[in-house]
Structure 1
Amino acid sequence: MARTDDGPTDVADDATRRLDAARTRSATDTRLPSTAHEPENTVNRPIVVGFDGSPESLAATDWAALEASRRRLPLELLQAWPWPKTDVLGTADAITWSRHRLGAKEATLHAELAGLEVTSAHVPHDPAEALEAAGRGATMLVLGSRGLSTLQGFLVGSVSQEVLGRATCPVVLVRVREDGPEADAQTQDVLIGLDVRQPADDVLAFAFEAAALRSARLRAVHAWAPPVGSEYMAFAAIGGAEKELSAAASTQLADTLTPWRTRYPQVDARSDLVRGNAADVVVDASATAGLVVLGRRSRRLPLGPHLGPVVHAAIHHVRCPVVIVPHH
């Protein structure tokens, strides 16, 4: 059922109301039947997708619908647009058309995915603020990203960039694909980029859960580089130092994955230690992945949210959906 708001309201209250409604619905929902792997879901939080009718948002919506089906979660289409007063020429028609477009997509999803609980909301707010607020009560946010040429990668719009830096839940960026969202599901790898010096449980949990739901292989990649100043060492000393560093990183990577392999015995989790720049390693490794999972440290900085070099490279150059999971 579509919902619209005709006047200014507090977006945080909107998110809270949606979460409360989702909890109420959980007692009488008609979700898809259970699969072989039962996803962890202590609270029936919806998957929220940003919708504006563009090809990118349509691709994101289709991906989010499949993910909601896998996880047996409600799906909410959120269209946010801070429109001017309705007496401005053309505004009323634009609002009517945008609501029609939103309702049509909701109806299509109902018809294509029987049993999936779908709702939509049309709110007169700044898109980044509305999405950030909705994310406080969501399992994840899903956003479309604009695809350009192979030389330029894909641009992340200002809304996506702001939401990525501030969201408290995982954010998924989805590009338009000619072969459709199912193509990612056919690729059996979920790729997680790990920093073994500071592994984050939230990121690992998301990656293993995603692999389990897809019956997919999980590849954990860690990039390492020679110690600073090694170029001034004797050749024999360099070789010894690099072997020690590689062995230590390999042990750390194995130790990081061990408890998660125990928790998810059905997941074929493989580790890959690669020498090189972390951003380049992740982008290169993503070529055969259907989903890339990365972490973003949640911290308040004086100049606002900051996306690290690995996340920045991934969201601009990785072709498959990219999940950014905030962690402390």
Structure 2
Amino acid sequence: MTAPVVAGFDGSPESLAATEWAAREARRRGCPLDLLEAWPWPHRDVVGSEETYRDALDRLELRARELRPLAGDGPVTSAIVPTDPAEALEAVGKSAALLVLGSRGLGAVRGFLVGSVSQEVLRRAGCPVVLVRAEAEESEGPVLVGLDLAHPMDDVLAFAFDAAARRRAPLRVVHVWSPPVSSQYTALEAVGGLGELASVDRARFAEQVTPWRERHPEVSVTADLIQGSASVALVDAAAGARLLVVGRRVRRTLLGAHLGPVAHAAIHHVRCPVALVPHG
């Protein structure tokens, strides 16, 4: 059976935007859409709790009916699960094609103020996760993907090329590089080494991107190498993009899984939907 697109729902404006985005994505993929609402209270025998539960169930079923015309021919299902939201989403993510979550709106700077559930799911999910802002509408701009040449990025590039192909959108592939710091920078600049450094990055860039261009000749690709801070440059490059795709390295520390600085900047400061794709 085709893996579903799964969207978290809680009745908030952010989850309304996320479920609508998820329905359109399910239509593009020709796959099922599953709406999931977590109900973390184990008992419903407290006064008023059964009525609240029924209201939540009715609201979820209504949302599923509203989305069926957008979701195409695939089935649309909905379920309330009696568990912690992050745990529920992490569990379904093991068999999902994609998880879609709403953001909590604009922060004091600009971009996402990501909630604790989203943060946990982003760190732990085994499938790609897309964050959607409440007022977000997909623009006519390109799909943008950030490329890290220090690690294999096939899963990230596969997702980005597929997203661009399904949308019939151009794809912009960006790698941000920084020269060595301090005395190393001065020495390299003196002997013309920075140009050589950029040439090496260009060769590695082409090595990663070329096979995917050959697999998707229908996708118009623009490739950019930008010198600077990866977090700042990628946030700026995402202005006008319809979707930003970034990688999330699957790694563990003594404190548990965590997001890298580029992914962290993207989910907090980028206005368009952001897809985080796990990779090795």
Q: Tell me the TM-score normalized by structure 1.
A: 0.82
Matched letter for residue 303 of structure 1: L
- What displacement does 1:229 show? 2.6
User: Is residue 2:196 matched to residue 1:244?
Assistant: yes
Partner amino acid for 1:210?
A: A
Aligned: 1:308 with 2:260: yes
Aligned residue in 2 for 1:144: 102
Taking a change above 3 Å as real, the CA distance of residues 188 and 85 of structure 1, as seen in their structure-2 partners, is: same
Evaluate the alpha carbon distance shift between residue 109 and residue 234 of structure 1 in structure 2; reply closer, same or farther with a 3 A threshold.
closer
Residue by residue over 1:81-133, the C-alpha shift from the partner in whole angstroms, topping out at 9 and shown as x without a partner, is: 11242221221111011001001001111245552420001111111000000
Aligned match of 2:237: 285
Cross-structure match for 1:202: 155
**How many correspondences in the alignment?**
280
Secondary structure at the counterpart of residue 210 of structure 1: helix
Does the C-alpha gap of structure 1 residues 80 and 234 become closer, same or farther in structure 2, counting only changes over 3 Å? closer
CA contact (8 A) 1:84 1:91 kept: no
SS in structure 2 at match of 1:155: coil
Tell me, which stretches of 5 or more residues in structure 2 are unaligned? none
Distance 2:28 2:185 in 1: 53
1:217 aligns to what?
170
Do 2:33 and 2:71's aligned partners in 1 also have CA atoms closer than 8 Å? no
Match among 23, 26, 41 for residue 68 of structure 1 = 26
CA-CA distance at 1:249 after TM superposition:
1.1
Contact (CA 8 Å) 1:83, 1:91: kept in 2 or not?
Answer: no
CA contact (8 A) 2:27 2:72 kept: no
Q: Give yes or no for contact 2:42–2:83 (8 Å, CA) kept in 1.
A: no
User: Which among 269, 294, 298 is matched to residue 246 of structure 2?
Assistant: 294
Aligned residue runs from structure 1 range 14-53, under 5 A: 23=1, 44-53=2-11
2:24 aligns to what SS in structure 1? helix
**Secondary structure of the corresponding residue to residue 238 of structure 2:** helix
Q: Deviations along 1:247-266, whole A, 9 cap, x unmatched?
A: 22122112211111101000
Q: Contact (CA 8 Å) 1:219, 1:269: kept in 2 or not?
A: yes
SS of the counterpart of 1:76? Answer: strand
Q: Contact (CA 8 Å) 2:101, 2:129: kept in 1 or not?
A: yes
Letter in structure 1 aligned against 2:93 = G
Q: Partner letter of residue 90 of structure 2?
A: E
Alignment of 1:1-328 (within 5 A): 23=1, 44-149=2-107, 151-177=109-135, 183-184=137-138, 186-230=139-183, 233=186, 237=190, 240-328=192-280
Question: What is the Cα-based RMSD across aligned positions, in Å?
Answer: 1.7
Contact 2:164 2:171 in 1 (8 A): yes
Partner amino acid, structure 2, of 1:195: D
Q: In structure 2, what is the equivalent of residue 11 of structure 1?
A: none
Code of the residue aligned with 1:250 in structure 2: it is R
Contact 1:217 1:267 in 2 (8 A): yes
CA separation in 1, counterparts of 2:152 and 2:168? Answer: 23
- Paired AA for residue 93 in structure 1: E
Deviation at 1:139, TM superposition (A): 0.2
Counterparts in 2 of 1:162 and 1:214: CA distance versus 1, 3 Å: same
Identity %: 57
* Closer/same/farther in 2, CA of residues 236 and 246 from structure 1, 3 Å limit: closer
CA distance in structure 1 between the partners assigned to 2:222 and 2:12 by the alignment: 37
CA contact (8 A) 2:102 2:132 kept: yes
Taking a change above 3 Å as real, the CA distance of residues 110 and 81 of structure 1, as seen in their structure-2 partners, is same
SS class of match (1:233): helix
1:151 shift after superposition? 2.1
The 3-state SS of whatever aligns with 1:143 is strand
* Structure 2 residue identity aligned to 1:201: D
Query: Aligned-pair distance for 1:200?
Result: 1.4
